[in-house]
Structure 1
């Protein structure tokens, strides 16, 4: 396929596209307007000295500037590092350091998030590559770095040359790691655009008949992939800056939305706000990821009320919406994670975790994937990339599942110790390292438990000398980490349960989880 056909720019050039391209908070943005904004943003980036290979960290909620920045960076040959707006200082610092970001795009303020206060807790010498901040929504914010105002939409800048190449990194997602902080997953224009087109074709999207409610954050592959798929289809996208159930309910009901994607908890909260028996007559597909207990019961209720939930599968490495259940599947099969790959060129196999041989249909093992949507590698980490990809090009997902025999597969669980908290995959080591950096903590272990129907983490701490104050530790973590990573309980212990194996002494995480549940039950 010609390079022009797999660029991000090509996705917005559909001749049969619906109008408007986007609706942000009730404000429509036409395709011509958006194309103009991308051109203006490209010129603005060039005026800031951003060119081929430079990294721009984008710490914004869902807004038109986010999408314009991604397409403009692609034109300049630059790389966007997506920053979760729920991140706090330790996480932002890690991402800026790992990516080598030269410029940070930042919100002036959003609801209760004080971006300036979070930045104030980051030592400037820890992120030496960062040269300046660009503020969206205000002229400046208090900061240690020079600030400029993002005024690309208001002020003309000299036109800039395109320097993009479709097979170089253009977007970095964060993903869970085994040590402090996540790795950065690199995607190119080709991997993003090719998968976006595959999504549009597999879902049989029609520009005039279909519309998306985008309620997931653009900083993650779940939100970005669904967005790009509908841009590729030329369908209108209604965008929430950040998820809230009430405005989501309003848009679903008033704008003939046919598709939306989100977590089970999002759809649960939307349904809870209306007593109408079938409140969404136009909805055809709601792709969902099951993160909370009781998701099967939710799917059954949603089905009875005309909100069809479809199980799907994805990851930062192979992108979200990698696969989805099909409309003709039996209900019990349709709501399972997994499904049929979107791309006809994708291949899924399962490897027996004990014999290391490929498993037959129906036998559980580690899911391995080869697909056009597969990532380039972990940014700046060739060793981790080599470990993640087989000699014949399949990505080792670290997820357990089984093949069905009809080309589809079922996702069952995560192979490793990563925890699903607040809808995000989190490595225990990230929270443990923060705890171990606190005064009075010799060692720490973190496990996930079901607490009142929600997945929460519980920490076990071995004190260095005098036991640290639990309130102090929790307060410290609240300053340094996103709220969903802060332990719901913190217990002081003398030692962790361990077992000896041929490979050394291992922490018995299953026993820690049992200990956590026992202690919670007695409270």
Structure 2
């Protein structure tokens, strides 16, 4: 991780960050983060892995605070800027944070901590007064960051990564996706998540590229920024691509052609954090000339598997193991099985996290006896490419003696002309063990009986949903991933 700062020292006047307040060079970023580190240190020489929670809007100040925490020897705990107080409280108190750094716009929601004797409440305005101190030397095996799992299956767990873990996650992607100093990317993803922090911001800044921040999603503004001609790398979640497609389809033919011509000049477009519907991938290719690079990763491992930068990007597949990452498939007893048989993805390598914060039992349970991390995701290899079948506890439905992939059924249903989106889950059933059910977001009125007949022409009868609900939208977390436990409650 500390190599990130060494790279920055060589760039000086190169623009690192553009946000709503202006453009900032690498030199300014280093100076600001040094001042923040000095303020946090006060009379100490080293924070020695003190947890520093921070809630700062995406942009220059966010990066400066994050870097300042790292440079002072602290563990960065980024807070989601859209969470309610109870969710923020859970993270702050679970990490036992000593410091809470707060942007002015968030002081009100976090005001209960202003008088808390157990935590030092710091406004970002306070950093103006810091005198620069000599910063500590930090070994790469020390804790660097705690990010929380999405909590789609259970209470969120704090994932502790070291500087060495983060450095491995960044350098692997920089090499695999050919990041360089001439790149210019748009940062629109939440910054309490590995996708935004590592894949976008850290890879760009490691490479000497420029990051432009857009704090809130707006399809019109994104296309306007694209048309300015600077962005050449773009990363987003499937929901964002779906919304960009919807907006594009409202435009005039002339505007559409101009956007398509511009998008074709991009170097790289990536989708992740949730399964990419094949229909979205194909439509985006028609619009942009790019097959989105789909990849596979988790908070605990960074990115592990990816479609190639050069070569076939296969729809519905996540690709091959990234360099330096070991991948195997295993049965329920953690025995390695052939890659052409469905099994749990297990990962080993320098990018794998150190521990779940304060949860030694959960940490031990997450690894096999020989040190492989158990992802809980079920996959199979087809003609050299891994394909995700679903998450063992949620997307694999055990019905009537069969193991059924919810993702496979969803992909079929989404191809129906009247379906906008869908979510498939298994609900408890005395006869079947679990019953396959589907929530539908429709484009137009639909007859369920005729839909059911249509589905049965596409997939075997035992995979066909036995109950349907029409909903306005699917419940999602901040990364756009459907929260299937919430979806189950609807049934």
Q: Does 1:257 align with 2:231?
A: yes
What is the deviation of 1:101? Answer: 0.8
Partner residue in 2 for 1:116: 108
Aligned to 1:487: none
1:346 pairs with one of 325, 331, 342: 325
TM-score, structure 2 length as denominator? 0.75
Distance 1:452 1:7, change over 3 A: same
Alpha-carbon offset, residue 352 of structure 1: 2.5
3-state SS of the aligned residue for 1:386? helix
- Equivalent residue in structure 1 for 2:307, among 320, 325, 328: 325
Could you tell me how far apart the structure 1 residues matched to 2:358 and 2:153 are? 15
CA displacement, residues 193-235 of structure 1 (integer Å, 9 cap, x when unaligned): 2221221111122212x22111112211000112111111111
Q: Distance in 1 between matches of 2:354 and 2:365?
A: 13
- Cα distance in 2, alignment partners of residues 53 and 105 from structure 1: 16
On the 8 A contact 1:498/1:507 being kept in 2, the answer is: yes
Shift of 1:396: 0.4
1:403 aligns with 2:387: no
Structure 2 CA distance for partners of 1:11 and 1:349, relative to 1, 3 Å = farther
Contact 2:438/2:469 (<8 A) preserved: no
* 1:5-40 deviation line (CA, Å, top 9, x unaligned): 854433434x46882111113721111111111111
Q: What are the superposed Cα offsets for residues 43-82 of structure 1, whole Å, 9 maximum, x if unpaired?
A: 1111397821211111223122222222222222211112
| Mapping of residues 16-415 of structure 1, within 5 Å | 19-25=14-20, 27-47=22-42, 51-109=47-105, 116-117=108-109, 130-136=118-124, 150-152=125-127, 154-162=128-136, 164-177=138-151, 181-208=155-182, 210-226=183-199, 227-274=201-248, 275=251, 276-277=256-257, 278=260, 279-289=262-272, 291=274, 295-308=277-290, 309-319=292-302, 321-331=303-313, 333=314, 335-342=315-322, 344-353=323-332, 356-404=334-382, 406=384, 408-415=385-392
Shift of the 290–235 alpha-carbon distance from structure 1 to 2, 3 Å rule, reads: closer
Helix, strand or coil at the partner of 2:131: coil
Distance 1:244 1:28 in 2: 21
8 Å Cα contact 1:338/1:411 also seen in 2: yes
Aligned counterparts of 2:58 and 2:168: Cα–Cα separation in 1: 23
Q: Please list the CA deviations of residues 146-172 of structure 1 after superposition, one character each: whole Å capped at 9, or x if unmatched.
A: xxxx332x3342414315332111100
5+ residue gaps, structure 1, are 137-149, 420-448, 459-495, 501-505
Deviation at 1:261, TM superposition (A): 1.1
Contact 1:281/1:306 (CA < 8 Å) preserved in 2?
yes
8 Å Cα contact 1:402-1:411 kept in structure 2: yes
Aligned length: 417
**Alignment partner of 2:179: what SS?**
coil
- Secondary structure of the 2:266 match is coil
Partners of 1:322 and 1:380 lie apart in 2 by 25
For the residues of structure 1 that align with 2:338 and 2:325, how far apart are their CA atoms? 18
**Other-structure match for 1:488:** none
CA contact (8 A) 1:287 1:324 kept: no
Question: What is the CA distance between 1:129 and its match in structure 2?
Answer: 7.6
Within 2, Cα distance between the matches of 1:161 and 1:348? 38
| Equivalence map 1:452-463=2 (5 Å) | 453=420
Deviations 1:302-344 (A, max 9, x none): 111225211111100001x43321144435x1x33522333x2
Counterpart residue number, 2:477: none
Distance (Å, rounded) in 2 between the aligned partners of 1:18 and 1:115: 33
Deviation, structure 1 residue 410: 2.4
RCO higher in 1 or 2 (8 Å CA, sep ≥ 6)? 1
The offset of 1:377, in angstroms, is 1.0
Q: Is the 8 A contact 1:215 1:242 kept in 2?
A: yes
Consecutive unaligned residues in structure 2, runs of 5 or more: 397-412, 440-464, 473-489
CA distance in 1, matches of 2:226, 2:300: 30
Tell me the alpha carbon deviations over residues 407-443 of structure 1, each in whole angstroms, 9 at most, x when there is no partner: x522231111389xxxxxxxxxxxxxxxxxxxxxxxx
Q: 1:389 to 1:251 in 2, by over 3 A?
A: same
Distance 1:364 1:310 in 2: 23
Whether the 8 Å CA contact 1:369–1:397 is kept in 2: the answer is yes
